[in-house]
Amino acid sequence: MAIDDIWFRNTAGNYNDPTWNIGEKESPPSGNTCTYTSGNWNILASDNCRNTNPVGVGGNDITITGTGTFYTSADITNYGKLTIKGTDATNRCIVTCDGGCFRG
């Protein structure tokens, strides 16, 4: 997994807090604009994606880039390479796992 300018937020709204736990919850972003169909899954964080169904990516790569959020409450499995990259240290790509998560 490549991680660059990624920030995790805990329920208190703190970023990269040492008390962050993958099981903590926050309100998911609205909308469901990112649906995997085939091939590599290139996600724009600005779409503020919300994934609620299990997704198998067939060994393809997943890339989440830009400024915004990606939320999943279901497992995303069978991927090759996972890359998460914010625009910069101020314009972050925030990934939230709530129950489900990336499970290569």
Q: Tell me: the pLDDT tens digits for 3-16?
A: 444 455 544 555 54
**Percentage of the chain surpassing pLDDT 90?**
61
Please give the model's pTM, rounded to 2 decimal places. 0.70
pLDDT at position 104 = 80
Report the amino acid identity of residue 58.
G
pLDDT cut 70: percent of the chain above it: 68
Contact 78, 5 (CB under 8 A): no
Helix (H) or strand (E) holding 71: strand 68-72
Structure token digits, residue 44: 């724009």
Report the pLDDT value the prediction gives residue 101, as an integer from 0 to 100.
95
User: What pLDDT is attached to residue 35?
Assistant: 87
The predicted pLDDT at position 33 comes to: 55
Q: Please tell me the predicted confidence (pLDDT) of residue 60.
A: 96
Residue 43's Cβ-side half-sphere holds a number of Cα atoms within 13 Å equal to 30
> For all residues of the chain together, what is the average pLDDT?
79
Angle at 48 between CA 16 and CA 13, to 5 degrees: 30
Instruction: State the pLDDT at residue 73.
Output: 94
Tell me which residue has tokens 């807090």.
17
Express each pLDDT in 25-47 by its tens digit.
Answer: 444 444 445 889 889 999 999 99
User: Is the Cβ–Cβ distance between 40 and 67 less than 8 Å?
Assistant: no
